[in-house]
Amino acid sequence: MTEMVYGTVRSGAREPVLPRWWRTVDKVSLLAILGLFAIGLLLGLAASPPLATRNGLQPFHYVERQLIFGTMALGVMGILSLGDPRMIRRMGVLLFVATFLALAFLPLFGTDFGKGATRWYSLGFASVQPSEFLKPAFIILCAWLLAAAQEINGPPGRSLSLAVALIVVAFLVIQPDFGQACLILFGWAAMYFVAGASMLLVVALVGMVGLAGVVAYNASEHFARRIDGFLSTEVDPTTQLGYATNAIREGGFFGVGVGEGQVKWVLPDAHTDFIIAVAAEEYGVLLVLVIIALYATIVLRSLWRLMKERDPFARLAGTGLVLLFAAQAIINMGVAVRMLPAKGMTLPLVSYGGSSLIATGIALGCLLAFTRSRPQGQIEDVLIKRGR
């Protein structure tokens, strides 16, 4: 009887998950991500055997571990990129709680591995750096708070997000880890600006960061030594920065040849913080330009797609994640060419490091989920929904 009155309704078959994901994901960014990881493995083959030999390990010990961690990172990235913004938001909040607790207990149970900063948990077979996983979780939580503040009768998300940022920064400074603290502040400021912050507040925040830098310079001998080394007119050729600068100069445009580089034999962090120096020496500026182009592709395409996103949370979180990704890459390469003070920060997807690789996979998986093509509806629909 119902069919006689209303007619039959054909139930459309729902598109399978993987075909829908492949149709909506940003394939160009995905290929750029895979390209950076492949370059990281290539450079790992050049940079890590000397370190493995010095530590009495198999020549390709670190390359094998990077392949394992990288596979895990790409797997996590793929799984997260299948999700929708609501699922990513829930996951991000839970991850923030877990990583913040891990960060808070670092002074009691963490280790510094002789580097002067308690940033890791030693698991025996591996180590975990909570701050790496905290970054994407922090961005997602603050994006949620800032987006909620835009709703009628919404919570004071801007004030809450600032409070969260300051608390996280305080715990990072205790380690001390001024570089990650600056990244956290930068990510928050970028989202706050996109959410409609006034320029006066942004200028005030920059002034606060400058004041904090002055305090850190006077209070931390380690921090002051790095700043003094950066400001010095001469570079000590026996320091890591001196070796890296010389390697980049020697590489020229086409490099000295595969396996012919010398900087990997003298730099203890050639496979992590100064991996770009190995690339410049053996493969020349040409490979460095390729790496920069791949990073630029991910950043610019993501921002372009996020400009079309009508969901405030997805737009803010995606912007924060991609700018944090870009800032870390700029800092790493800027240190190698002495444009920035020395800072122990990996080159995303390229440098060796389990925590860094997996955390980057989490961040990029969320970014790919936010930048997937989705029906956005009409702007009038969004305004009507907010007015209800």
For the chain, domain boundaries: 24-105+128-372+379-387
Q: What is the mean pLDDT of residues 68-93?
A: 94
Residue 5's pLDDT band, with cuts at 50, 70 and 90, is very low
120 to 104, 277, 296: CA distances (angstroms): 12, 26, 31
pLDDT for 226 equals 67
Q: Is the pLDDT of residue 252 over 90?
A: no
CA distance 178 to 159: 23
The predicted pLDDT at position 231 comes to 65
* 321: CB partners within 8 A, 6+ apart: 136, 139, 140, 363, 364, 366, 367, 370
Statement: residue 44 has pLDDT above 80: yes
pLDDT at 60: 86
For residues 35-47, give the mean pLDDT. 91
What is the pLDDT at residue 8?
44
Res 382 pLDDT > 70: no
pLDDT for position 372: 92
Residue range 313-330: average pLDDT? 95
Higher per-residue confidence, 385 vs 118: 118
pLDDT tens-digit map of 205-243: 777 777 777 777 776 666 666 676 666 666 666 677 777
CB half-sphere exposure, 2, CA atoms < 13 A: 2
49 band by pLDDT with thresholds 50, 70 and 90: confident
Give the chain's count of helices (H) and strands (E).
16, 2
Is the omega angle on the peptide bond into residue 176 within 30 degrees of 0, that is, cis? yes
Average pLDDT over residues 87-93: 94
3-class SS at 121?
strand
Give the pLDDT confidence score for residue 1 in this predicted structure. 41
Can you tell me the distance from the alpha carbon of 172 to that of 185, in angstroms, rounded to the nearest whole number? 11
% of the chain with per-residue pLDDT over 90 = 40
Q: What is the pLDDT of residue 229?
A: 64
pTM value is 0.86
CA 9 to chain centre: 48
The structure tokens 């870390």 sit at: 328
pLDDT of 320 higher than 80:
yes
What span, in angstroms and rounded, lies between the C-alpha atoms of 94 and 144?
13
Q: Note the pLDDT of residue 10.
A: 46
> What is the pLDDT averaged over residues 121-134?
84
Tokens of 56: 């009495």
Alpha carbons 259 and 163: distance in angstroms, whole number? 49
- Provide the pLDDT for residue 238: 63
Torsion of CA 247, 285, 279, 76, to 10 degrees: 150
The confidence band for 16, taking pLDDT boundaries of 50, 70 and 90, is: confident
pLDDT, the chain, mean: 83
Q: Which of 360, 377, 372 is nearest to 18 (CA)?
A: 372
**Residue 201: both structure tokens together:** 């507040």
- Token duo for residue 140: 């997602």
> SS3 sequence, 48-99?
HHHHHHHCCCCCCHHHHHHHHHHHHHHHHHHHHHCCCHHHHHHHHHHHHHHH
Highest mean pLDDT among 1-5, 147-151, 262-266, 290-294: 290-294
Name the helix (H) or strand (E) containing 291. Answer: helix 275-307
Contact 316, 147 (CB under 8 A): yes
Name which residue leads in pLDDT, 142 or 180: 142
Q: Give the range among 255-259, 295-299, 313-317 with minimum mean pLDDT.
A: 255-259
More confidently predicted of 17 and 370? 370
Q: What pLDDT score was predicted for residue 230?
A: 64
